[in-house]
Structure 1
Amino acid sequence: MNRLVRGSSAAAVLLLALAGCKQEEQGAPVAPAAEPVQAPVVAAPAAADLHDVIENTPSYVIGISYPPAASKYPGLANALSDYAGHAKADLLKSVAELGNDKPTAPYELSLAFDMLVETPAVVAVSADGSSYTGGAHGQPLVARFVWLPEQQQLLKADDLIADAKGWQAISDFTEDKLLEQATVRAQGEDMSPEEQQAQVRNLSKMIDEGTAADATNFGQFQPVMDATGKIAALRFVFPPYQVGPYSDGTQTVDVPAAVLLPHVAADYRGLFAHP
Structure 2
Amino acid sequence: MSRLSIAVLGCVVALALASCDREAAPATAPVAKPAQPAPFVAPQDVFERDARAIVGISYPPGLERYPALAKLLVAHAQARRAVLDGALAKAPSNAAPFELTLRFSTAADAPRMFAVVADEELYTGGATSRPSRTVFLWLPAQNRLLTPDEMIPDPAAWSRLHADIRKLQRQESASLSAPDAEGAMQRVFVPRFNSAGRIAGLRFPTDGGGEVEVAGSDLKSLVAPAYAAWFEDAPMSADAAPAPSAPATP
Aligned-partner Cα distance in 2 for 1:177–1:208: 15
Other structure's SS at 2:122 match: strand
1:273 aligns with 2:246: no
Larger RCO: 1 or 2 (CA < 8 Å, sep 6+)? 1
Distance 1:47 1:147, change over 3 A: farther
Alignment partner for residue 79 of structure 1, among 65, 72, 78? 72
Decide whether the 8 Å contact of 1:175 with 1:208 is kept in 2.
no
Distance 1:162 1:98, change over 3 A: closer
The equivalent residue for 1:228 is 196
1:124 aligns with 2:92: no
Matched AA of 1:270: A
| TM-score normalized with structure 1 length | 0.65
The equivalent residue for 1:179 is 170
Identity of aligned residues (%): 31
Distance 1:75 1:45, change over 3 A: farther
Decide whether the 8 Å contact of 1:224 with 1:233 is kept in 2.
yes
How many matched pairs? 200
Distance 1:255 1:106, change over 3 A: same
Matched AA of 1:263: L
Matched AA of 1:102: N
Aligned-partner Cα distance in 2 for 1:266–1:177: 26
Alignment partner for residue 128 of structure 2, among 117, 123, 137? 137
Question: How many angstroms does 1:263 deviate by?
Answer: 2.0
Unaligned runs of 5+ in 2: 1-33, 235-250
Decide whether the 8 Å contact of 2:102 with 2:120 is kept in 1.
yes
Matched AA of 2:60: P
The equivalent residue for 1:255 is 214
The equivalent residue for 2:85 is 92
Aligned-partner Cα distance in 1 for 2:37–2:181: 42
The equivalent residue for 1:107 is 98
Other structure's SS at 1:79 match: helix
Question: How many angstroms does 1:209 deviate by?
Answer: 4.3
Matched AA of 2:233: H
Q: Which has the higher helix share?
A: 1
1:64 aligns with 2:57: yes
Unaligned runs of 5+ in 1: 1-40, 187-199, 212-216
How much is the aligned-residue C-alpha RMSD, in angstroms?
2.5
Aligned-partner Cα distance in 1 for 2:158–2:77: 29
Decide whether the 8 Å contact of 2:188 with 2:205 is kept in 1.
yes
Distance 1:178 1:79, change over 3 A: farther
Alignment partner for residue 237 of structure 1, among 169, 185, 205? 205
Distance 1:68 1:256, change over 3 A: same
Distance 1:56 1:162, change over 3 A: closer
